[in-house]
Each structure stands twice: as structure tokens, then as C-alpha cells.
Structure 1
Amino acid sequence: MKRKIRKSVAEARQFLRGYAWVTVCPAELTDVLGGADALKKSGAFHRVASLASGGTVLQVTETIAAFSDEAMHKTFHALAPVLPPGVPRFNPAAPYVRFVPEDAGQFADGRR
């Protein structure tokens, strides 16, 4: 989304800084998403590992090669309530970064 680094870091317990094939989700945001069990039941993740801190490690597909656009969309929709609002923009300095060009704010369901 081309957010300023300082702002992104300052808000890291309110919003995920991004998502990828493997994402670490802090405890505060895991709770907003309903906990590890809800994330497992979402069907968006191949593996959900609980951390001692209360956070989770979310692995989308068994292999990175299987991380398709469809899998990325499922991930986006599962994590949208804790993603920053706004439509991400293409960054020419990072042309290979993949993202879903939708506003996560529309899926927040008032859970923030």
C-alpha cells in the first residue's frame, strides 16, 4: 500500500503489515480474527501454528509454488479484518510483489 514504514511499524498491533505465503500474525490480531481455531476453520491456510505469545504462523499452501492467485485471494479475505484499509497500489520499485487490489476496509465487519 506504500504506507510509511514508521506508521506501519507503529500500527503493527492494529493492522498486519502485509500477507504472503507465510505470515506471522501477532496475538492481538489473531484474537480479532477469532483465534487459531477460527483461522484453521477458515480454509484459507494449509497450516496454522500457535505461538507461545498467542500469535500464529499462517502458511497458505503446502509449497510456495502452490501459492496461486486463488490462494492469495482466500488469504486476503481471511485476513482483511486486520489489514489496513485502502486499495494497495503497484510499486514500480517492487514489480514482483503480489497483492489483491481490493480495499480490505470493506471487509472489516466492524471488528477493529
Structure 2
Amino acid sequence: MEVVLALAIGILIGSGVWLLLRPRTFQLVVGLSLISYAVNLFIFSIGGLAIDKEPILADGVPPDLAHYTDPVPQALVLTAIVISFAMTALLLVIVLASRGMTGTDHVDGTEA
């Protein structure tokens, strides 16, 4: 499972970087979103891939004997999702304002 997750993160990062290097603003927004998804998957994978485990410690069980899932990466990913949604909305507003003022959607300001 770790190999599949690592491949997914690599493909998302590679696709995101490729889209970031494209000249149009929509591709830039999609590339940043893909990189954001990859970073969220990476943060989520840091907590370990534990299936059917409790997110908190049970009473009376020592921490070294308990098998639990770390809830901190899950909380970080949830926060990152909200922040990336807000930043994507802000970026789209800036892109639309830039297109309205310049008349083009190219990042470098030139027509291809």
C-alpha cells in the first residue's frame, strides 16, 4: 500500500509541476491544486497507514502496548483542505481580475 501511495504522490507532484510551467492561468490553478492534494496525501501518510485502529488511546492500556492511529496528521490535512480551498478561490478571483485588466490569460503577459 505504501508503494501505491508513493506513486500517487509522485504522479500528482509531477503533473502539478508540469501544469505550473504551462503559460495559461487555468493550468496554473489546476497545477497548484494537484500539488496541494499531493502534499495532503504526504501529510496523511506520515501518520502511518493503520486500518481499523482507534484514533485515541483506550483507558488502562499503556501507550507502548496500544495500537492506535495518530489523529494529528488527519487534523492537519483537514485544516490544509480548508486553507487550500480558500487560497484557490482567492487565486481565481485574482486571475479573473488580471484577465479583465490585461485581456489575456497568459501568465507571462504574451500571446502564444
Q: TM-score, normalised by structure 2?
A: 0.25
More strand by share: 1
More helix by share: 2
Q: TM-score, normalised by structure 1?
A: 0.25
